[in-house]
């Protein structure tokens, strides 16, 4: 009886060993790796909610240091010494 159990245990260990070796070989076998390179050609500007982009036709009110208003228009004076006249 003990001889059958011994052969059975040796058989199980052998089968498991073969399975482990085959699993290792299968895991290390790799197919050809294809590398694809993509380049970004579009630049997008992300602006958080609540902020306005300052383009050339928009005045940044934080840079105004003085103003003068008449019945004909409004003159704005900026920190850098320049001005802007609105009719």
* Predicted local confidence at residue 17, as pLDDT: 94
Whole-model pTM: value is 0.36
b/e per residue 40-79 (b: at least 16 CB within 10 A): eeeeeeeeeeeeeeeeeeeeeeeeeeeeeeeeeeeebeee
* Predicted local confidence at residue 83, as pLDDT: 86
What are the structural domain ranges in the chain?
Answer: 2-86
| Contact by Cβ (8 Å): 79, 65 | yes
pLDDT single digits (tens) 22-81: 888 887 776 667 788 888 788 877 777 767 666 667 777 888 999 999 889 999 999 888
* Predicted local confidence at residue 37, as pLDDT: 84
Triad 77, 83, 84: Cα angle to 5°: 110
* Predicted local confidence at residue 59, as pLDDT: 77
């Amino acid at each position: 009886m003990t001889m059958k159990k011994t052969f059975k245990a040796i058989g199980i260990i052998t089968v498991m060993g073969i399975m482990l070796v085959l699993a290792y070989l299968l895991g290390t076998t790799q197919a050809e790796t294809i590398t694809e390179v993509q380049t970004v050609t579009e630049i997008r500007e992300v602006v958080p909610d609540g902020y306005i982009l300052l383009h050339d036709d928009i005045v940044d009110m934080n840079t105004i240091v003085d103003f003068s208003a008449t019945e004909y228009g409004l003159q704005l004076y900026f920190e850098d010494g320049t001005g802007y006249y609105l009719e």
